[in-house]
Amino acid sequence: MISLPALAQKPALSPAEAAIVQAVEKQTEPSIALLERMVNLNSGTYNPIGVRAMAQLMEAELKALGFTTRMLPMDAIKRGPHLVAEHKGAGGKPVLLIGHIDTVFEPSSPFQKFERKGRSAVGPGTGDMKGGLVVLLAALQGLKQSGQLDKLPITVFLTGDEESPGRIDGSPGLSRQEMVAIAKQSRAALSFEGGHKGVGHDYATTARRGYTGWELRSTGKAGHSGQVFSPSAGYGAIYEITRVVNTFQQTLQEPNMTFNVGLILGGGEVQADPDGAATVNGKPNIVASKALARGEIRALTSEQVARTKDRMYAIVAKNLPGTKSEIVFEEGGAPMPPTDGNRRLLEVLNQASQAAGLGEILELDPMLRGAGDISYIAEYTDCLDGLGAVGAGSHAVGETVELDSIAKQAKRAALLVHRLARQ
């Protein structure tokens, strides 16, 4: 783990920092115009051609800033490419800036176009996270136009499959391998997922919960319903899977952890595809022979995940008469637990924000943030997330972004990068 020293910053901006803030302000309208181009370009995770087009758009912007770039093909996992951009600056360990170029909105979605509505805009990915990408670029433009970028070592890593990481044998290892390697050589990692605002202050993210998928299958003895609960017929698969899920709800709850059941089926024959499309049949007068449930665990630490899995295994093993249940888990996104190093990054950001007259920034409750790319690298370097544009309705038709937040977040990010990269 790379630890940053405790930094005592002056309450006022230096002349160089004041120039950065002024330069970022000039990027406001160009950033909004760029956001419109991005949003109108479909880059759903399962649209690799669109993801590649977004990568090429970002590549052109970063090359114009003096970065050297390379694409990482992800054809082996049926995804669009990742983009890596490097700026050597004066040397030393770089500050790593991360984001993603895919969205949850595929070409089949009816939600496809950017629409500006006063000081907000509606469109697919406006908040998650094409708004974050324009914040990242505006921050770098501000550093460039103020004459500060040339001195700074910075790496940008943009994934093409954050919304649904490509997997081999159930693991996203190949997809995140290069990002992990770069993080190990970085002094800090900053993610441009959407920001959060409060009343009189804003928030940044020092911790994100990870997720672990699970699938539960229960079986029973098919037979006449008149014999249910008898020694010969047993309870059937539906009663058994209900027992398990209900016991989960009654006994597993603890702080910073949730577990959800997103799909449940029961009857005579049960079929469910990986994407959730399912069929089932059954009759009121037949004891159910098969049942299936799928869900996920969201937890703040790996220890919490392991403890919850052990408790779930124990619950599943206590079968009702005439039934059997089995549960399997799928590796998802690792958690990003809060650390002293992450909180020091927040303090540097908070000091810079207040010095620039942009207000206080507090630590966001991790229950308000799900898994993300930064969690894959959280054990290797100090991390901070939530530096992107502020919006609402992520992953849903009608997703919006607050356009005024782009310049505000870009100023903060530029000052943070400047202060970190010069240490």
Rounded Cα–Cα distance for residues 137 and 146 (Å): 14
Rounded Cα–Cα distance for residues 100 and 375 (Å): 13
Residue showing tokens 């010069």: 422
- What does the DSSP assignment read for 90-108? TSSSPEEEEEE--BS--TT
The DSSP bridge partners found for residue 64 are none
Per-residue pLDDT averaged across 112-139, rounded? 97
Rounded Cα–Cα distance for residues 85 and 68 (Å): 5
Say yes or no to pLDDT of 340 above 60.
yes
Say yes or no to pLDDT of 131 above 60.
yes
Helices (H), 210-301: 237-251
Per-residue pLDDT averaged across 204-218, rounded? 95
> What is the bridge-based pairing of β-strands 290-299 and 258-267?
antiparallel
The secondary structure element, H or E, covering residue 61 is helix 48-64
- Predicted local confidence at residue 11, as pLDDT: 66
Max Cα distance, the chain (Å): 84
Helices (H), 82-160: 131-145
Q: How would CATH label the architecture of 210-333? A: 2-Layer Sandwich (3.30)
Q: Residue 170: which pLDDT band, with cuts at 50, 70 and 90? A: low
Report the interhelical angle of 131-145 vs 48-64 (nearest 10°): 10
pLDDT in tens, 75-89: 999 999 999 999 999
Q: Rounded to 5 degrees, what are φ and ψ at 26?
A: -70, -15
Q: How far is C-alpha 363 from the chain's CA centre?
A: 17
Q: Residue 333: which pLDDT band, with cuts at 50, 70 and 90? A: confident
Q: Under the phi-then-psi rule, with left for phi > 0, alpha for psi from -120 to 50, and beta for the rest, what region is 267?
A: left
Q: How would CATH label the architecture of 15-208+336-421? A: 3-Layer(aba) Sandwich (3.40)
Report the interhelical angle of 340-355 vs 404-421 (nearest 10°): 120
- Predicted local confidence at residue 34, as pLDDT: 98
Per-residue pLDDT averaged across 49-57, rounded? 98
Q: For 399, how many CA atoms within 13 A lie in the half-sphere containing its CB? A: 26
The reply to whether 15-208+336-421 and 210-333 are identical in fold is: no
Pick from 67-76, 168-177, 293-302, 325-334: least confident: 168-177
pLDDT in tens, 214-263: 999 999 999 999 999 999 999 999 999 999 999 999 999 999 999 999 99
- With H, G, I as helix, E, B as strand and everything else as coil, classify residue 319: coil
Sequence-distant (≥ 6) Cβ neighbours of residue 168 within 8 angstroms: 76, 77, 174
Mean pLDDT of the residues in the chain: 94
Q: For 356, how many CA atoms within 13 A lie in the half-sphere containing its CB? A: 28
- Predicted local confidence at residue 172, as pLDDT: 75
pLDDT in tens, 256-309: 999 999 999 999 999 999 878 899 999 999 999 999 999 999 999 989 999 999
- What does the DSSP assignment read for 343-408? HHHHHHHHHHHHHTT--EEEEPPGGG----GGGGGTTTS-EEB--S-BEE-TTSTT-EEETHHHHH
**pTM of the predicted model as reported, rounded to 2 decimal places:** 0.86
Tell me the two tokens of residue 251. 């006994």
Say yes or no to pLDDT of 6 above 50.
no
Q: Which residues of 171-207 are buried (b: 16+ CB within 10 A; e: fewer)?
A: ebebbbeebeebbeebbbbbbbbbbbeeeeebbbbbb
Rounded Cα–Cα distance for residues 395 and 403 (Å): 18
Domain boundaries, the chain: 15-208+336-421, 210-333
- Predicted local confidence at residue 370, as pLDDT: 76
Positive or negative: CA dihedral 359, 363, 369, 371 = positive
The secondary structure element, H or E, covering residue 178 is helix 173-183
